[in-house]
Chains A and B, each alone.
Chain A
Amino acid sequence: MKTRSILAAAAALSLALTACGGETPAEDPTEGATNGAEVSPEGIDDGTELTMWTRAPLERQAKNAVEAYNATHENQVILEILPNDDVEGKVGGAIQTDTLPDILAGDVVRIPYWVEQGVFTDITDHISTLDVDNLQQGHIDAGTIDGRMHTLPFVTDISVMVWNKDLYEEAGLDPEQGPTTVGEFLEQAKAVADLGKDGVAGSYLAGQSGGALVFTLFPMMWASGEEPLGAGGTEANVASENAKAIYAAYNELANTSNGLGAGSKEETGATWTAPFQEGNIGVMQYPYTAVTGLFDTVDFEIGVAGIPGVDGNQSTFLGGDALGISRSSENVEQAWNFMSWLMSDEAQQTVFADNDDTASSLSVLENGYADADERTLIANATIKDGRTPVAIYFNEAFNAAGSNWQLLIQDAVWGDGSQVDTLNEEISATLGG
Chain B
Amino acid sequence: MTAPSIIAGRTRSAHMRREAATGWAFATPVTVVLALLFFAPIVLVVIMSGSKWTLLGGNQGLNGVDNFSKVLADPMLLDSVWFTLKYTLLTTVILMPIALGLALLVQEARRWNNILRTAILVPSALGIASASVLFYALYSPQVGPINKVLADLGLMDQDSSLLGTPNGALWATVFLVVWRFAGFYMLLTMVGLQGIPQDVYEAARIDGASRWRTFTQVTLPLLKPTIAMTMIMSITGSLLAFDQFYVLTKGGPNNSTMTVVLLIYRYAFETKRDLGMAAALSVLVLLALVVINAIQLKAMGVSDKEDK
Contacts and interface: CB of A to CB of B under 8 A. Distances in A.
A263 B159 contact: yes
A114 B56 contact: yes
Contact of A268 (B54, B250, B266, B273): B250
Q: Chain A, interface size: which category?
A: 20 to 34
Interface stretch (A66-74, A287-295, A398-406): A398-406
Nearest to B164: A266
B245 to A, nearest CB: 11
Contacts of B251: 401-402
Nearest to B54: A117
Interface stretch (A55-63, A87-95, A225-233): A87-95
A88 B254 contact: no
Interface in A186-203: 199
Nearest to A274: B142
Interface string A89-103: 101100110000000
Contact of A266 (B55, B57, B161, B272): B161
A91 B58 CA distance: 12
Nearest to B265: A89
A266 B269 contact: no
Contacts of A375: none
Contact of B55 (A92, A401, A403): A92
A81 interface: no
Interface in B39-59: 54-58
B255 interface: yes
B160 A117 contact: no
A402 B56 contact: no
B249 to A, nearest CB: 9
Contacts of A119: 56
B251 to A, nearest CB: 6
B161 A117 contact: no
Nearest to B161: A266
Contacts of A88: 55-56, 269-270, 273
Contact of A400 (B58, B161, B270): B270
Q: Chain B, interface size: which category?
A: 20 to 34
Say whether chain B's binding surface is mostly helix, strand, loop, or mixed. Answer: loop
Contacts of A263: 141, 159-161, 164
Interface string A307-320: 00000000000000
B5 interface: no
Interface in A402-419: 402-403, 406-407, 410
Contact of A401 (B56, B57, B58, B252): B252
Contacts of B255: 402, 407
A400 B159 CA distance: 25
A358 interface: no
A410 B270 CA distance: 20
A117 B56 contact: yes
A118 B59 CA distance: 13
Given A114-B56, A208-B252, A401 B160 contact: no
B167 to A, nearest CB: 13
Contact of B253 (A92, A208, A262, A400): A208
A396 interface: yes
Interface in A251-266: 262-263, 265-266
Contacts of A402: 251-252, 254-255, 258
Contacts of A406: 254
B276 to A, nearest CB: 13
B187 interface: no
Contact of A117 (B57, B159, B163): B57
A322 to B, nearest CB: 15
B303 interface: no
A113 interface: yes
A64 to B, nearest CB: 29
Contacts of B164: 263, 265-266
A407 B272 contact: no
B118 interface: no
A369 B57 CA distance: 42
B210 interface: no
B57 A118 contact: yes
Contacts of B258: 402
Interface in A96-150: 96, 113-114, 117-119
Contacts of A118: 56-57
Given A113-B56, A265-B164, A400 B254 contact: no
A406 B250 CA distance: 14
B271 interface: yes
Given A117-B57, A118-B57, A406-B254, A266 B163 contact: yes
Contacts of A407: 254-255
28 contacts: A88-B55, A88-B56, A88-B270, A89-B55, A89-B269, A92-B269, A92-B273, A113-B56, A113-B273, A208-B252, A208-B253, A262-B157, A262-B159, A263-B159, A263-B164, A266-B163, A271-B142, A395-B273, A401-B250, A401-B251, A401-B252, A401-B270, A402-B251, A402-B254, A402-B255, A406-B254, A407-B254, A407-B255
Interface of B: 54-58, 141-142, 157, 159-161, 163-164, 250-255, 258, 266, 268-273
Interface of A: 88-89, 91-92, 95-96, 113-114, 117-119, 199, 208, 262-263, 265-266, 268, 271, 395-396, 400-403, 406-407, 410
Given A91-B56, A117-B57, 9 more contacts: A88-B269, A118-B57, A119-B56, A263-B141, A266-B160, A266-B163, A268-B250, A396-B273, A402-B252
